[in-house]
Amino acid sequence: MRKIIHCDCDCFYAAVEMRDNPALKDIPIAIGGSVEQRGVVATCNYPAREYGIHSAMPMAQALKRCPHLTLIRGDMAKYKVVARQVFAIYREVTDLIEPLSLDEAFLDVSNVSLYQGSATRMAQAIRERVSREVGITVSAGVAPNKFLAKIASDWNKPDGLCVITPGEVEHFVQALSVKKIHGVGPRTAEKMARLDIHTCADLRTRPLTELVEHFGRFGKRLHELSFGHDERPVKTHRERKSVSTEQTYAKDLPTLETCRKELPALLEDLERRYARLDPPPGVRGLMVKVKFNDFTQTTVEHADPAPNLEQFETLLNVGWARGKRPVRLLGVGYRLAEAAPAEQLSLF
């Protein structure tokens, strides 16, 4: 049985800013783009969250909720330095680390002998060292698999630790709200509520065929997770599946034609990002993202190994037609081909 720790730095960017400037600690702050550039909140501290502010919220809306909110542009170079310090502490415990972002990772400690093999004590030690040596806090979840470890790390935030032992899995999962399952967004949760599915115990009462009928392939995953089953290993190498770029405009793009005029600059930036991949993988498809001025958004995709401007224009036409309203954000991207598996060559 695996022993998995999920570590998640608490409001990471904001935590680094509060560490470097203690005067920010007890006031609402948000990291992100400026209102003039129609930026969004990248993260915010807990005093700001008391006003209902959250990541991905437009900064203008955040300021309406909290007029005295302190805005900080952010310093990605500094955050990357801090992230490397945190991950260096993780690596002193195990080499089996799967980074999910700068501030979040799974650690497989199944075969680690430190602290008499206690994953709980390892998680406690990690949290104490990060707090003492780096000056920020980490919440951690300990469980027999990745699904439960990730849920556990969020259970006692901020600066918390939650442990789900193998003997506690059954009781914990049955009472777990389906809203806690990764992939269950507001719309899926509403659909489940209409079906009178609110907890994993409710999911268990439904046949697999019924879940697949209502939720497609995700129905099979829901069935597995409702029993606390998750056999995914911790992957030390995460294969990139896409590369993309997007731009939020200071003024809405009022027509389809004005949107089209922005495509060449976006595609030029996309090509620069793609060229930085080492080595650049194959392209298997392309995508266009359109966010309208009412904050609704749509993504249009098409499989093609040789994308060009005309194809992106076609996808933009489809995306714009779904809203036919002024556009505040455009994005373009490539879906990347999976690396070819190693092949045993014939001797003859």
Per-residue pLDDT, 345? 44
103 is in an annotated binding site: yes
Res. 66: pLDDT tops 70? yes
Least-confidence region, from 256-260, 268-272, 273-277: 273-277
The CATH number assigned to the domain holding 199 equals 1.10.150.20
In this structure, the answer to whether residues 218 and 262 fall within a common structural domain is no
In this structure, the answer to whether residues 154 and 203 fall within a common structural domain is no
In this structure, the answer to whether residues 138 and 204 fall within a common structural domain is no
Counting the structural domains of the chain, the total is 3
Does some domain include residue 262?
yes
Per-residue pLDDT, 263? 93
Does some domain include residue 235?
no
Residue 99 structural domain: 1-164
The CATH number assigned to the domain holding 116 equals 3.30.70.270
Res. 325: pLDDT tops 50? yes
- Altogether, the residues listed in the chain come to a count of 348
| pLDDT, tens digit (0-9, with 9 covering 90-100), for 208-246 | 999 999 999 899 999 999 999 999 999 887 777 889 999
The CATH number assigned to the domain holding 260 equals 3.30.1490.100
In this structure, the answer to whether residues 4 and 150 fall within a common structural domain is yes
For residues 276-280, give the mean pLDDT.
79
* CB atoms inside a 10 Å sphere around CB 259: 21
* CB atoms inside a 10 Å sphere around CB 218: 15
Res. 341: pLDDT tops 70? no
For residues 257-274, give the mean pLDDT.
92
Provide the mean pLDDT of the chain.
91
| pLDDT, tens digit (0-9, with 9 covering 90-100), for 124-137 | 999 999 999 999 99
| pLDDT, tens digit (0-9, with 9 covering 90-100), for 26-38 | 999 999 887 776 7
In this structure, the answer to whether residues 157 and 175 fall within a common structural domain is no
Tell me the sheet residues that pair with 244.
Answer: 333
More confident residue, 53 or 186: 53
In this structure, the answer to whether residues 93 and 180 fall within a common structural domain is no
Does some domain include residue 143?
yes
| pLDDT, tens digit (0-9, with 9 covering 90-100), for 99-126 | 998 999 999 999 999 999 999 999 999 9
Among candidate residues 164, 179, 201, the one where a domain is terminated = 164
Does some domain include residue 84?
yes
Per-residue pLDDT, 130? 97
Per-residue pLDDT, 339? 58
Does some domain include residue 341?
no
Does some domain include residue 147?
yes
In this structure, the answer to whether residues 45 and 124 fall within a common structural domain is yes
> Among candidates 329, 194, 208, 332, which has minimal Cα distance to 267?
332
Residue tagged active-site, from 17, 50, 98, 104: 104
8 is in an annotated binding site: yes
In this structure, the answer to whether residues 128 and 50 fall within a common structural domain is yes
d(CA 223, CA 215): 11
Per-residue pLDDT, 348? 36
Among candidate residues 164, 181, 201, the one where a domain is terminated = 164
Confidence of residue 39 (pLDDT cuts 50, 70, 90): confident
In this structure, the answer to whether residues 260 and 331 fall within a common structural domain is yes
Does some domain include residue 345?
no
For residues 276-283, give the mean pLDDT.
81
Per-residue pLDDT, 279? 78
In this structure, the answer to whether residues 199 and 93 fall within a common structural domain is no
User: What does DSSP assign to residue 132?
Assistant: I
Give alpha helix (H) positions in the chain.
12-20, 46-49, 59-65, 76-91, 119-129, 146-153, 169-174, 186-194, 200-204, 208-215, 217-226, 256-275, 309-321
Among candidate residues 112, 145, 164, the one where a domain is terminated = 164
Phi-psi region of 161 (alpha: psi -120 to 50; beta: other; left: phi over 0): beta
Element spanning 249, H or E: strand 242-253
Per-residue pLDDT, 281? 81
Does some domain include residue 346?
no
In this structure, the answer to whether residues 180 and 139 fall within a common structural domain is no
In this structure, the answer to whether residues 20 and 46 fall within a common structural domain is yes
Confidence of residue 282 (pLDDT cuts 50, 70, 90): confident
Rounding to the nearest 10 degrees, give the CA dihedral for residues 86, 91, 94, 98: 60
Instruction: Provide the pairing of β-strand 138-143 with 70-72.
Output: unpaired
Is 343 catalytic? The answer is: no
